[in-house]
C-alpha cells in the first residue's frame, strides 16, 4: 500500500497548525516548510490563510519566493486557502501597492472582498469533487477574497449560494492547483484536505510510473 504523500504547510505566518492537523487526519505526512531545503522534500504544499501581504514579504525575506515559483511552474500540487488563494492568483484587485503573488492560477481575485474581519460569516456550500453525494462543506469566510474572473482552464468548484455575494466564485481548481476563499482547516471537516491529498497522491503515483518506465 502506498504511504501517504509528504505535504508541507508554508509556515511563515497564518493558521499553520490547523492545516498540519487536517492534512495528518487526511492521511498525509504533514511537515512545516520554512526553508528551501524543506520545500525541496515535499510532494505538495499548502499556502495557509493569514495576511497575504505579510506572507509575500516573508517569502522574500526567507528567500523562498523564487524556489516556490519554480516548483509551482514545475507542477508541484499546491492548495491555497484564503490568503493562499491570493498568493496563487495571477492577478489581484485591491492589493497593496508593492504586493506580488506567486501566480500559477489563471484567476483574478479581489482581496478582502467580503469585508473586514468583523464581517466574517459562514455558509454551507456544495463543493464539486468534495461533497458529491454527501453533505455540504461548512465554509468560514474571514477577510476572504473571491474570484472575479476565472480563465478558461480553471474549473469552478463552488460559489456563494445566498446573500449579497450570491454567485461569487469561492473555490477553483486548475490541474494540481486548488484554492478556496474559505477556511476548511478550522471546522474539523477534513474533506477538502482529503481531496487535495488525493491530488498529490495521484501525482506521486504518476511520477513513480514514469520513473519505472524510464
What is the β-pairing status of strands 6-10 and 105-110? Answer: unpaired
Looking at 18, 19, 123, 183, which residue is catalytic? 183
- The single residue of 185, 193, 210, 211 carrying the catalytic annotation is 185
H/E run at residue 89: strand 89-93
How are beta strands 6-10 and 29-33 bridged, if at all?
A: parallel
Cβ–Cβ < 8 Å for 83, 52: yes
Nearest C-alpha neighbor of 23 from the set 54, 45, 40: 45
177 exposure class (CB count in 10 Å sphere: 0-12, 13-18, 19+): buried
51 is catalytic: no
| 36 labelled catalytic | no
Alpha-carbon distance 72 to 135, whole Å? 32
Q: Which of 18, 82, 123, 193 is catalytic?
A: 82
Whether residue 82 lies in the annotated active site: yes
Q: Could you count the other beta carbons within 10 Å of the beta carbon of residue 21?
A: 16
Check: CB of residue 163 under 8 Å from CB of residue 125: no
- Which residues are designated catalytic? 82, 183, 185
Amino acid at each position: 500500500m502506498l504511504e501517504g504523500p509528504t505535504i508541507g504547510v508554508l509556515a511563515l505566518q497564518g493558521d499553520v497548525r490547523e492545516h498540519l492537523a487536517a492534512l495528518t487526519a487526511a492521511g498525509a505526512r504533514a511537515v512545516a516548510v520554512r526553508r528551501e531545503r524543506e520545500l525541496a522534500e515535499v510532494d505538495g504544499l499548502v499556502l495557509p490563510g493569514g495576511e497575504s501581504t505579510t506572507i509575500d514579504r516573508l517569502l522574500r525575506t526567507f528567500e523562498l519566493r523564487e524556489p516556490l515559483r519554480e516548483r509551482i511552474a514545475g507542477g508541484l500540487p499546491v492548495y491555497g486557502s484564503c490568503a493562499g488563494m491570493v498568493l496563487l492568483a495571477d492577478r489581484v484587485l485591491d492589493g497593496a501597492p508593492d504586493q506580488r503573488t506567486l501566480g500559477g492560477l489563471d484567476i483574478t481575485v479581489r482581496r478582502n472582498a467580503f469585508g473586514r474581519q468583523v464581517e466574517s460569516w459562514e455558509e454551507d456550500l456544495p463543493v464539486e469533487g468534495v461533497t458529491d453525494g454527501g453533505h455540504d462543506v461548512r465554509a468560514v469566510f474571514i477577510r476572504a477574497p473571491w474570484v472575479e474572473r476565472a480563465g478558461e482552464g480553471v474549473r469552478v468548484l463552488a460559489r456563494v449560494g445566498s446573500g449579497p455575494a450570491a454567485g461569487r466564485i469561492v473555490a477553483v481548481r486548475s490541474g494540481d492547483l486548488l484554492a478556496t476563499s474559505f477556511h476548511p482547516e478550522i471546522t474539523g471537516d477534513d474533506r477538502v484536505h482529503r481531496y487535495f491529498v488525493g491530488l498529490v497522491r495521484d501525482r506521486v503515483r504518476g511520477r513513480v510510473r514514469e520513473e519505472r518506465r524510464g
